[in-house]
Amino acid sequence: MSVRVKLCGVRRVADALLCAEAGADELGVIFAPSSKRKITHTEGSAIRDALPAHIPLVGVFKDATLDELVSAQRSSRLSALQLHGVRPPSIARDLRAALGPSVKLIAAVHVRDADSLSAVAALSDFDRVLLDGPQGGGSGTSFDWTLVTRAREHFRGELFLAGGLTSRNVAQAIRTARPDGVDVASGIEGADGFKDPTEARAFVTAARSVNSEGA
C-alpha cells in the first residue's frame, strides 16, 4: 500500500520548507480564526511561493462561507480546501462551480464511535474525507482506528486518518486503519508550537516504513 503523508498546521515559511524536506506529500495551512495555528492570506501566499510546485498546499477552514473559501484559495493558490464545522449542503457543488474541478475538496468528520460514521455517507460530493479525533483538528485526540475501514462502506473517495498521531504510533495506525493517507499537526511540534524537524522526519519515516512492508 502507498499512504500519503500530510503535515498540517504550518505557520512559517521555514516550517513549510523543513516539512517539504522531511518528505511530506502535502502541507496544510489553517485559516480558521479560532485556531492557535491560524495564518493570514499573505502568509499563505508566502508559504505557497516558497514550496516546490509539486507539493500541494491544503487550506483548512471551520464554518467558512463560500466567499471566504474562494478568496483564500485564490490568494494562497491552494490545491485543496479542507472543511470543518458547518458545511451547507450545496457547498461542494458551489465550490466546484467557482473554482473548477482541479481544486480538491475535503470534508472533516470527528469520530467518537461507529454512529459517527453515518455522516460520511452524505459526503459523496467531496474528494476526500478526513476522519479526525472527537475533539477536532489539532487537539491531538485519537479514536478507534478500526472505524476507518468501516467508513469505506459509506465513502468511495480518499480516506485520511488524523487525531493523536505521532512518529511512535503512526505505523501501527496505518496497519490497523489502512487509510489512503495520514494527517498530523500537534504530533510534530516542539515546545514552542512550531514544527520540529526531528519529529517531522521521524513521522514521515515511520509512515513510509509501512509502505515498504507492502502492507
Catalogue the active-site residues.
Answer: 8, 132
Question: What is the spatial distance between Cα 136 and Cα 142, in angstroms, rounded to a whole number?
Answer: 10
Question: What is the spatial distance between Cα 132 and Cα 183, in angstroms, rounded to a whole number?
Answer: 9
Alpha-helix residue ranges (DSSP H) falling in the chain: 13-22, 41-50, 66-76, 91-99, 146-151, 170-177, 197-213
Question: What is the spatial distance between Cα 27 and Cα 8, in angstroms, rounded to a whole number?
Answer: 6
Find out whether 35 and 67 touch, Cβ atoms under 8 Å.
no
Cβ neighbors of 90 (< 8 A, separation 6 or more) are none
Question: Residue 148 has what DSSP assignment?
Answer: H
**Burial (Cβ within 10 Å: 0-12, 13-18, ≥19) of residue 118:** exposed
Question: What is the spatial distance between Cα 100 and Cα 48, in angstroms, rounded to a whole number?
Answer: 19
CA 33 → CA 44, 62, 116, distances in Å? 14, 8, 25
